[in-house]
Chain A
Amino acid sequence: MIELNGVAKTFDGTIHALQDVTFSVPSGSVCAVLGHNGAGKTTTIKILSTLLRPTSGQAIVAGYDVVRQPAQVRANIGTTGQLAALDWQLTGRENLVLFGRLRGMRRKHAQLRADTLIDQFDMAHAADRRVGTYSVGMQRRIDIAAALVVPPKVLFLDEPTTGLDPRSRRDVWDLVSSLSAQGVTVLLTTQYLEEADVLSDSIVVINEGRVIASGTAEELKSRVRFSYCTVSPANPSDLCRIFDVVADLEGAQADREANTVSVLAPDGVATLGEVFRRVDQLGVELLDISLRKPSLDEAFLHLTGSVSA
């Protein structure tokens, strides 16, 4: 449904925003493009939504070439940017009707569709206020609704949850899941690993304009071959003491919220034994000690770190 083949974008002849980007997203699945600020995520979306012309390479969206058949691409996509792309002078309802008519609906039909979306997005209380008065979360909701007035085959979400509170973020996640269940192909960009992990069927990691890894979350985690040894004390106040005795081991870090101390375990069980011995000498009561696979967070840091190193 989405295919990129060797796509490159160079600005002003010297700034290589994207280089040889190749990946594909099957129909009806959710793909997360993951990367730091400036990695090339937005440039990728702009090329796929016909806003930028690739310097070289080919991109196909919904079966159409973005350079040669931009009109057909536009007829099949919905987009939302990092900020709400709405007319601030108009109410939420007026915005939805406007986007319906811009997609060729008759006024009556567009009004009915707006009513449906307002119900579906639980916006009845605010639909007739100007969008300029909305909270960020509400703007985002009406913004996504505006992209769905005519259900698109492919939906692009550029950092859909940036700046949202946890509840609104959860709402967007639920929405993306339900869209993909309805068969919409979704490509979203995010800086949040958790988001990519929860939402997507596949992940493409971009760093400095290049794809450095792609696959499912599990596959990415398994690319980081070593494990971590994690210790949780029964009493959270012992966390610091545990950290102190293992601080000299590689990758040692304490996570107060999760009540864990982690160290890299290059020698697997042997490392676990060493950690256990040291903690045992402290006489601290443990809740848990285990070996685990790296989190996606750790995998991401490892992947992007290995490129810049």
Chain B
Amino acid sequence: MTAVAALTERMVLGALRDDLPFAILAPAGNFVVFNFGLRNVIDTGHMSYPQYLLPVIIVQVMLLGALTTVDRAARDQGSDFGIRLRTLPIPTVAPLTARMLYCLFRGALALLAAIAVGYVFGFRMLGGVAYGSAFAILVLTLTLAVSLGADATGTRIAASGIAGAQMGNSGGASQLLLVPQLLLVMLSTGMAPADAFPDWLSPFVRYQPVSQVTETLRGLAAGHVDVSNLAASVAWCLGLLAVFGALAVRMQKRTQ
């Protein structure tokens, strides 16, 4: 436990001097840009655009935040510091656990920042404490699942030594993962309702995880959720958690 606590603290300290301030500012920037860019373009019916938009901004920020895990995992795997960690008397999964705790910490901060900004522009949590907590838990579960996937990717890259990753330079991979991340967000019902997309695309748009999760988050914020949609979101999150979790743990081999 001491090892996990010490490693998590190390990451928070390092991030404070690096990109943690950005993690907190990102939701505000994203929200303001999309809100003013799209609020008069997209028809979201009776729901105000800030109320409609904030969930996908949160999901987008969580996905972007998770991508930074690729670099952290690659660094921990490939750097001399990471190699030394593997010669210390600590559990093999301690560094992974610490990275994930840091991701949750960073996610929680970004979530708070997003909701604060949302409130300024008219977003409201109408469902009370229970719905509010469910909202936070769903967001953090998604963050954890995607972070585990990013972690497995980063560790794999560093271990195989592709593209200069031995120096902890996995910038290429996290840039590459931006593409599916952006596509998932853009081709979702997060920014515009499904009927705004062409017919051939709408089945994908409707059922992909970002759409399902943002729909559920919107419901939780409003205080009423569609049960089948909630089930789909929970299934997506737990499924991703299980698959990426298993992959990430399998990557943590200390002896070659």
Asked if A51 is at the interface of the complex by the 8 Å CB criterion, the answer is: yes
Cβ-defined contact, A51 with B89, below 8 A: no
Known contacts: A74-B88, A75-B89, A89-B14. The answer to whether A52 contacts B83 by CB under 8 A is no
Q: How far is the CA of A274 from the CA of B230 in the complex (A)?
A: 99
Asked if A53 is at the interface of the complex by the 8 Å CB criterion, the answer is: yes
- Could you say which of B18, B80, B90 contacts A102, with CB atoms under 8 Å apart? B90
Q: How far is the CA of A82 from the CA of B84 in the complex (A)?
A: 11
Asked if B81 is at the interface of the complex by the 8 Å CB criterion, the answer is: yes
Cβ-defined contact, A89 with B89, below 8 A: no
Asked if B126 is at the interface of the complex by the 8 Å CB criterion, the answer is: no
Those of B205-256 within 8 Å (CB) of chain A: 254-256
Stretch at the interface among B5-13, B23-31, B54-62, B196-204: B5-13
Those of A23-72 within 8 Å (CB) of chain B: 49-53, 70-71
- Could you say which of B9, B83, B85, B89 contacts A71, with CB atoms under 8 Å apart? B89
Cβ-defined contact, A49 with B88, below 8 A: no
- Could you say which of B2, B6, B85, B255 contacts A70, with CB atoms under 8 Å apart? B255
Which chain B residue has the least Cβ–Cβ distance from A84? B80
Asked if B86 is at the interface of the complex by the 8 Å CB criterion, the answer is: yes
Q: How far is the CA of A88 from the CA of B17 in the complex (A)?
A: 11
Asked if B40 is at the interface of the complex by the 8 Å CB criterion, the answer is: no
Instruction: Tell me the smallest distance from the CB of B75 to a CB of chain A, in Å.
Output: 10
Asked if A7 is at the interface of the complex by the 8 Å CB criterion, the answer is: no
Which chain B residue has the least Cβ–Cβ distance from A82? B80
Those of B1-48 within 8 Å (CB) of chain A: 2-3, 5-7, 9-10, 13-15, 17-18
Q: How far is the CA of A106 from the CA of B1 in the complex (A)?
A: 11
Cβ-defined contact, A85 with B14, below 8 A: no
Cβ-defined contact, B87 with A77, below 8 A: yes
Asked if A79 is at the interface of the complex by the 8 Å CB criterion, the answer is: yes
Asked if A239 is at the interface of the complex by the 8 Å CB criterion, the answer is: no
Instruction: Tell me the smallest distance from the CB of A43 to a CB of chain B, in Å.
Output: 11
Q: Total interface residues on B, using CB and 8 Å?
A: 26
Known contacts: A74-B89, A75-B89. The answer to whether A90 contacts B255 by CB under 8 A is no
Cβ-defined contact, A87 with B254, below 8 A: no
List chain A residues, Cβ under 8 A from B17: 89, 130
Digitize A222-250: 1 where CB-to-B-CB distance is under 8 Å, 0 elsewhere. Answer: 00000000000000000000000000000
Cβ-defined contact, A74 with B87, below 8 A: yes
Which chain A residue has the least Cβ–Cβ distance from B91? A71
Cβ-defined contact, A53 with B80, below 8 A: no
Cβ-defined contact, A102 with B87, below 8 A: no
Q: How far is the CA of A106 from the CA of B18 in the complex (A)?
A: 27
List chain A residues, Cβ under 8 A from B15: 89
Which chain B residue has the least Cβ–Cβ distance from A91? B13
Instruction: Tell me the smallest distance from the CB of A84 to a CB of chain B, in Å.
Output: 7
Cβ-defined contact, B254 with A103, below 8 A: no
- Could you say which of B3, B13, B18, B84 contacts A101, with CB atoms under 8 Å apart? B3
Task: Identify the interface centre among A52, A53, A103: most chain B CB within 10 Å of its CB.
Answer: A103
Q: How far is the CA of A46 from the CA of B77 in the complex (A)?
A: 15
List chain A residues, Cβ under 8 A from B90: 102
List chain A residues, Cβ under 8 A from B7: 98, 102
List chain A residues, Cβ under 8 A from B85: 102
List chain A residues, Cβ under 8 A from B6: 98, 101-102
Instruction: Tell me the smallest distance from the CB of A248 to a CB of chain B, in Å.
Output: 50
Known contacts: A53-B255, A53-B256, A101-B2. The answer to whether A90 contacts B87 by CB under 8 A is no
- Could you say which of B9, B84, B256 contacts A52, with CB atoms under 8 Å apart? B256
Cβ-defined contact, A89 with B83, below 8 A: no
- Could you say which of B5, B13, B80, B254 contacts A50, with CB atoms under 8 Å apart? B254
Instruction: Tell me the smallest distance from the CB of B79 to a CB of chain A, in Å.
Output: 8
Cβ-defined contact, B13 with A49, below 8 A: no
B: which residues have CB within 8 A of A?
2-3, 5-7, 9-10, 13-15, 17-18, 79-81, 83-90, 254-256
A: which residues have CB within 8 A of B?
49-53, 70-71, 74-75, 77, 79-90, 94, 98-99, 101-106, 130, 146
26 A-B residue pairs with Cβ-Cβ distance under 8 Å, sorted by A, are A50-B86, A50-B254, A51-B255, A51-B256, A52-B256, A53-B255, A53-B256, A71-B89, A74-B89, A81-B84, A82-B80, A84-B80, A85-B81, A85-B84, A86-B80, A87-B14, A88-B81, A89-B14, A89-B17, A90-B13, A98-B9, A102-B2, A102-B3, A102-B85, A102-B88, A106-B2
